[in-house]
Amino acid sequence: MNRLVLFSLVALIGLAPLAVASETNEFTWDIDGDGKEAPLTDGLLIIRYLFGFTDQALVQGAVDSNATRSTAADIKAYLDVHAAELDVDGNDTNAPLSDGLLIIRYLFGFDGASLIQNAVAPDGARTTADDISAFLDARSGGGSIDPPIEPPTVTAKAYFEDEVAGLIDRCVSCHKAGAVAGGTDLVFVLNTTENLDTNYKALRDFILDTSQPSILGKISGVSHPGGNIYPTNSDGYKVFEEFVRLVEEEDASGEEEPEPVTNAFNTLFKSSTLLSAEATLRRATILLLGRNPTLSEISLLSDGSDAALRQAIRAATEDPAFHDFLVRGANDRLLTDAFVEGIPLEQASLEANAFYPLGTNAHADAQADAGERFFYWPKYNHWRWGLARAPLELIAYIVSNDRDYREVLTADYTMMNYAVSDFLNGGAEFDEVDPEVFSYCQAFPNEPCYDHSQFKPARNNGQTLLTESLETEETEFQTQRITAYDSFIDYPHAGVLNTQAFLNRYPSTETNRNRARARWTFYHFLGIDIEKSAPRTTDPVALADTDNPTLKNPACTVCHQVLDPVAGAFQHYGDIGFYHEAWGGLDSLPFNYKQAIPDATLSPTYLGGELFEVENEDFGPVFETSFESIAQTVYLRIEFLNDAADENGDRNAFFGPLSLEGPSGTTSFTLDNLPEGTERYGCGGPQADGYGQYCQGGVVLPIELEDSGDYILSIELRGDQFGGEPVRVMVSIDSNMNALEEFRYAEGDTWYKDMREPGFLASEAPESIPSLQWLAAEIVKDPWFGESAVKFWWPSLMGQEVVSAPEVVEDAQFGAQLALFDAQQSYITDLATRFATGIDGGQPFNGRDLIVELLTSPWFRLLSLEEANALSNQLGNRRLLTPEELEAKFAGLTGFYWGHHNNEYAEWSITGRHSRLSEEFQILYGGIDSRNVTKRADQMSPLMFNIAEKMALETACEVIVRDLAEAPAERRMLGNTHRLTTPESTLVTQVAAEVPLAEFTTVIETTAQVQAGSVSLIVTFNNHLGDPNGSRNAWFDQLNITSPSGVETTIEFEDAPAGTRITACGHPTDAYYQLSCNGSIIIPFEVTEAGSYALELIAAGEQYGDEPISIELSIVDSASGKPALKRQIQDLHQQLLGETLPADDPEVEATYALLLESYETRKARGVTNVNQFPVETCPNHQWRISDLDGSDPTYMVGTWINVLTYLMTDFRFLHE
């Protein structure tokens, strides 16, 4: 079965489904019992049933919402009972691709030959269209349940003139003779008043030709290389829809009313539940910025309206982290970060690179300074990274600065960091940065210290051309210094299109001729995947055609007519993207092409000829070719094609005696005396035994033919053999001496003569402006550009590519995919239109507005669909975070990157940090390297979960310990609790103090309301420091307690009461107790009267290092801390998982249960430090900042570590 045929059939769904009565006890084609006989429900059910599908595979997406038989069991039972009715061709076999196909075609409205073609078993009882139709009609319900059709009030022709003619300009531009779609079955003429009738007939005939696909499908982008012209919700579509209806009504065979077409987007979301404004804002900020929304952003939500949500998200995008998202999202499409992941950016080489003399000479200078050829020069890396990142930075710059998004293609500048600006003479100014922060600067004190990740707009004024002005000298390190060069060119910037990275990411070759660049330009900036959307030929003859098929073969030209002009617009850029890279600087055409002799067969007056491979070194073998001609002057062309030479030898060709045998005899001659009128080209000339040709070229000599008839030309050839191939000589005969001149390269050409002219769609690029700049301007004028912008950002926001049009009707998900495709296209077209004019009154083409709009759309906010279908599992929230997104989320919550020391600058990384998720485990966690791996994982695998768990296990301890070491107001996560608040105790008060002296003059006082009962009085030492030169220790002398009634109690620490616990190393002295490492002294105290207690702590310490001794005095009572702990848990669920939960929510209770069990387990274990080598370790990623205090006197540090590990490995932490 030809899938294209079926696809086309399906495209008719919006055109001519049947509406019939269903209330009958007899078998009809209304399989699902919805009162209608429709191809994509009833027809599809039958064909799937005949394929043997059962269960969900049978009914998925194929049962109407009004069906009375909707389950697979009901459908199967019905068809089982009536199986005999399905043998349409009467061959006693029910086959999907004969009987099933006949039924589905019938339901699509086909008749005659188009109904039965290739679908009828030859051995069947019914083989003719009439017999088949009669059988099918007999089982059709017939009649209509819809209201009678009103007679048309206008004629189709009048409607065409009034309404349709004004809409077909976009069709005519391609569907006219000589244009892209001039070879299709729908060809218009110029859309003028005089041609109304011609164009009306063309369109009408196309509609009425049942072998053609649906015009409505075509204009809405289904199987249409031209893409989506009029989406199903557009006014234009409705006009076409009405026109189709009128045409069919007027036609004798058009009796059915088209099924109403509804807005697919609205239909899909009609019963959906969306995220609240606050939840949407959080999801947006997590994905974009890696953090929760700020209070000020939340406050903007006010009434929770869509407008308020837009405002809040827009405000959030002012965060500098938005830039990182933009770079990341843009790279997911352009993949230019391949050049920071290992692919060499060839243009960036500074080894004798004469195109960039400033960089090349700077490199030579640096080599001289270093005294070696290969050395580490940070600026070289910065130059490479700067070039590599330029396209992404350009897009980020445009969006984050609210510049016109069209500048993505039309910017007359590029983005440069300091190194690129230096070497490309950009003139951008950068401020030097602190060498303490950019630690590599310390190792290169003679280099200016700049932040290489800072980019500024600038122009490339630093490229020169390879001309006679170029002079070089050898350096002592076997490279070249450029001592003289041509003037710098005025580089014709065209946004990202001619950035070095874009051009080098899609390099060209002599035969590719910029087609890859054109293909990706279409894909990224017009939203069209030519390889997918073009009607690919499957004709083996066409595919194997070697006779310039892209220009000549219709099967190929249908695509290349569109592709090749855009490739031509890149004409000024060479294989790796240098502007006019050819020697002389006039063009970028390859030497081989310039030297090539045009293919003789291209000539329209070509008479005959042959390519000979000459392996002999002496004349002897005779080569023959034949041709037919009338009596006339013909031109014999003898050409040597494959000159080659080096120091070891030379390949040459020699043309010997010739003879021409014709109707009236044989004529012999030699070339040692060339006849008058002979043209020579290339280096060569007559010699004693004929003609010697020493480089590519040959002779063209006139021959007068006196008779019409067949001729045989014989020639002796020999060659100086050299290299791996024989001498190749082309002998051809043409009736026009100059016929090939138009195909030959001439100085000043910038594009191939045997390719289509540079252009875009129906327009040719003018010579007055650089063709790539012209192309960029043309593209941004096209409506597809706006759509492409939507598609460009869709994956990074939605976590899925835009769905493509389904191709094979038999696929189980065909219906669902078509519906989703329709809905997305409908939305995208609408948004693109608003983007072009300004979203919600904003500026036209504002990229930030576009992203905000996508984030407020149902596509981003979808929580659930009431009617799930086969593809709804691609929609909605809780998508898997990419490694970069998870890394950003982790850093946003914790303040550091997994594996990266905040105080260490990683020079070898473009981001300046070496983090595990986005570097070490980038691929294993389903990310991309932009090189070999370009598709992201969208589902968790066992290995990925291990990585997520390892991140939690390795970092949770440090996160908790560091957080608890901060004052509550400064904490990131645990601001609502304290390590002394436990399931069985609550912190009553705590006072922190610094003790700057070794004398007991420091007195810390506090008062607190304390309930009667057992309490703990706790003193804690927080900042021990010790090394071979000294030690910082805390000395606790005395604690005085005064009860509400004035009773005073004094506790001497060196003689603490029974039951005192000490959770750190230390020892008593005669006068005080010394804590020699971080930890606490916990003293039990019985409170007999409730009320206000006054405490007075006298402490001193052994001072060492820069900081005074840091201590705390706390009172903890015996009331359960559960309420406070649950408040903290609520907060963690909100921050980490995006769950807003009441205190009594089962999830809060469940997390508290984990906390309680952890606490009790750890308490029972009696371990008061979270470092318990080798079974518990607390890695310190920021050890250069400070040590981690692992003391855990109340077991709550370890408990919170368990809770955080649980939350950081939760589904909703890893999916947003």
Query: What part of residues 528-587 is at the interface with other proteins (CB under 8 A)?
Result: 529, 531-532, 536, 538, 540, 543-544, 546
The answer to whether 1116 and 988 have CB atoms below 8 angstroms apart is yes
Q: DSSP letter at 1014?
A: E
Near other proteins by CB under 8 A: residue from 321, 674, 762, 924: 924
* Residue the block writes with tokens 């040709």: 693
Site membership for other proteins, residue 1065 (CB under 8 A): no
Near other proteins by CB under 8 A: residue from 875, 995, 1081, 1082: 875
Site membership for other proteins, residue 203 (CB under 8 A): no
Helix (H, G, I), strand (E, B) or coil at 723: coil
Site membership for other proteins, residue 921 (CB under 8 A): yes
Tell me the chain's radius of gyration from C-alpha atoms: 40
Give me the least distance between CB of 151 and other proteins, in Å please. 43
Q: Is 593 or 1000 the residue whose CB approaches other proteins more closely? A: 593
Q: Which of 1026, 1009, 993 is nearest to 1098 (CA)?
A: 993
For other proteins, the binding residues in 421-480 under the rule CB under 8 A are none
| Burial of 93: CB neighbours in 10 Å, binned 0-12, 13-18, 19+ | middle
Near other proteins by CB under 8 A: residue from 944, 959, 1051, 1188: 944
Near other proteins by CB under 8 A: residue from 786, 806, 912, 1190: 806
* Count of positions on this chain that bind other proteins (CB under 8 A): 104
Site membership for other proteins, residue 3 (CB under 8 A): yes
The answer to whether 172 and 186 have CB atoms below 8 angstroms apart is no
Q: Is 189 or 611 the residue whose CB approaches other proteins more closely? A: 611
Q: Quick count: other Cβ atoms within 10 Å of Cβ 1150?
A: 12
Site membership for other proteins, residue 279 (CB under 8 A): no
In the chain, the N- to C-terminal Cα span, in Å, equals: 43
Give me the least distance between CB of 747 and other proteins, in Å please. 19
Using the contact rule CB under 8 A, the part of the chain among 280-288, 504-512, 647-655, 1089-1097 near other proteins is 504-512
Site membership for other proteins, residue 346 (CB under 8 A): no
Residues 6+ apart with CB under 8 A from 563: 515, 518, 519, 522, 530
Structure tokens at 908: 């070898």
Using the contact rule CB under 8 A, the part of the chain among 648-656, 770-778, 943-951, 1058-1066 near other proteins is 943-951
Vertex 1032 angle, CA 1029 and 1034, to 5° = 155
For other proteins, the binding residues in 695-754 under the rule CB under 8 A are 724-726
Site membership for other proteins, residue 645 (CB under 8 A): no
Residue 134 CA to residue 126 CA, distance in Å, equals 10
Near other proteins by CB under 8 A: residue from 151, 178, 371, 942: 942
Binding mask 1115-1154 for other proteins (x = CB under 8 A): -------------------------------xx--xx-xx
Near other proteins by CB under 8 A: residue from 111, 161, 404, 920: 920
Please report, for residues 1008, 1039, 1048, the alpha-carbon distance to residue 1003 in angstroms, rounded to integers and kept in the order given.
Answer: 17, 9, 16
Near other proteins by CB under 8 A: residue from 306, 650, 954, 1096: 954
Q: Is 176 or 282 the residue whose CB approaches other proteins more closely? A: 282
For other proteins, the binding residues in 853-872 under the rule CB under 8 A are 864-865, 868-870, 872
Give me the least distance between CB of 124 and other proteins, in Å please. 17
Give me the least distance between CB of 522 and other proteins, in Å please. 13
Give me the least distance between CB of 534 and other proteins, in Å please. 9
Give me the least distance between CB of 1207 and other proteins, in Å please. 10
User: What is the distance of C-alpha 840 from the center of its chain?
Assistant: 27
Beta-bridge partners for 730 = 611, 639
Q: Which amino acid would we find at residue 610?
A: E
Site membership for other proteins, residue 644 (CB under 8 A): no
Give me the least distance between CB of 808 and other proteins, in Å please. 5
Residue 300 CA to residue 285 CA, distance in Å, equals 14
For residue 888, give the H/E element and its range: helix 883-894
Give me the least distance between CB of 60 and other proteins, in Å please. 10
Structure tokens at 570: 């890149």
For other proteins, the binding residues in 1177-1206 under the rule CB under 8 A are 1177, 1179, 1198, 1201-1202, 1205-1206
Q: DSSP letter at 703?
A: E
Residue 568 CA to residue 775 CA, distance in Å, equals 10
For residue 956, give the H/E element and its range: helix 942-965
Supply φ then ψ for residue 325, to 5 degrees.
Answer: -60, -45
| Burial of 189: CB neighbours in 10 Å, binned 0-12, 13-18, 19+ | middle
Using the contact rule CB under 8 A, the part of the chain among 104-112, 122-130, 295-303, 923-931 near other proteins is 923-931
* Residue the block writes with tokens 């252009």: 759
Residue 826 CA to residue 1029 CA, distance in Å, equals 73
Using the contact rule CB under 8 A, the part of the chain among 143-151, 332-340, 481-489, 926-934 near other proteins is 926-934
Site membership for other proteins, residue 592 (CB under 8 A): yes
Give me the least distance between CB of 1204 and other proteins, in Å please. 10
Q: Is 438 or 573 the residue whose CB approaches other proteins more closely? A: 573
Near other proteins by CB under 8 A: residue from 813, 989, 1103, 1182: 813
Near other proteins by CB under 8 A: residue from 53, 243, 339, 1073: 53
Site membership for other proteins, residue 965 (CB under 8 A): no
Helix (H, G, I), strand (E, B) or coil at 470: coil
Query: Torsion over CA of 205, 206, 207 and 212, rounded to 10 degrees?
Result: 140
For other proteins, the binding residues in 601-630 under the rule CB under 8 A are 610-611, 613
Residue 742 CA to residue 598 CA, distance in Å, equals 9
For other proteins, the binding residues in 81-140 under the rule CB under 8 A are 96-97
For residue 239, give the H/E element and its range: helix 235-250
Near other proteins by CB under 8 A: residue from 470, 762, 940, 991: 940
Give me the least distance between CB of 613 and other proteins, in Å please. 8
Query: Torsion over CA of 216, 218, 220 and 225, rounded to 10 degrees?
Result: 180
Give me the least distance between CB of 1142 and other proteins, in Å please. 16
Residue 335 CA to residue 388 CA, distance in Å, equals 10
Near other proteins by CB under 8 A: residue from 1158, 1169, 1180, 1191: 1158
Near other proteins by CB under 8 A: residue from 511, 673, 768, 1029: 511
For other proteins, the binding residues in 879-898 under the rule CB under 8 A are 879-880
| Burial of 250: CB neighbours in 10 Å, binned 0-12, 13-18, 19+ | middle
Q: Quick count: other Cβ atoms within 10 Å of Cβ 1086?
A: 9
Supply φ then ψ for residue 395, to 5 degrees.
Answer: -65, -45
Near other proteins by CB under 8 A: residue from 593, 619, 681, 743: 593
Residue 1168 CA to residue 1077 CA, distance in Å, equals 13
For other proteins, the binding residues in 361-420 under the rule CB under 8 A are none
Using the contact rule CB under 8 A, the part of the chain among 146-154, 771-779, 807-815, 1074-1082 near other proteins is 807-815
Q: Is 378 or 883 the residue whose CB approaches other proteins more closely? A: 883
Structure tokens at 446: 């003679």
Using the contact rule CB under 8 A, the part of the chain among 210-218, 433-441, 884-892, 945-953 near other proteins is 945-953
Site membership for other proteins, residue 873 (CB under 8 A): yes
Site membership for other proteins, residue 312 (CB under 8 A): no
The answer to whether 493 and 579 have CB atoms below 8 angstroms apart is no
Query: Torsion over CA of 432, 437, 443 and 448, rounded to 10 degrees?
Result: 0
Site membership for other proteins, residue 982 (CB under 8 A): no
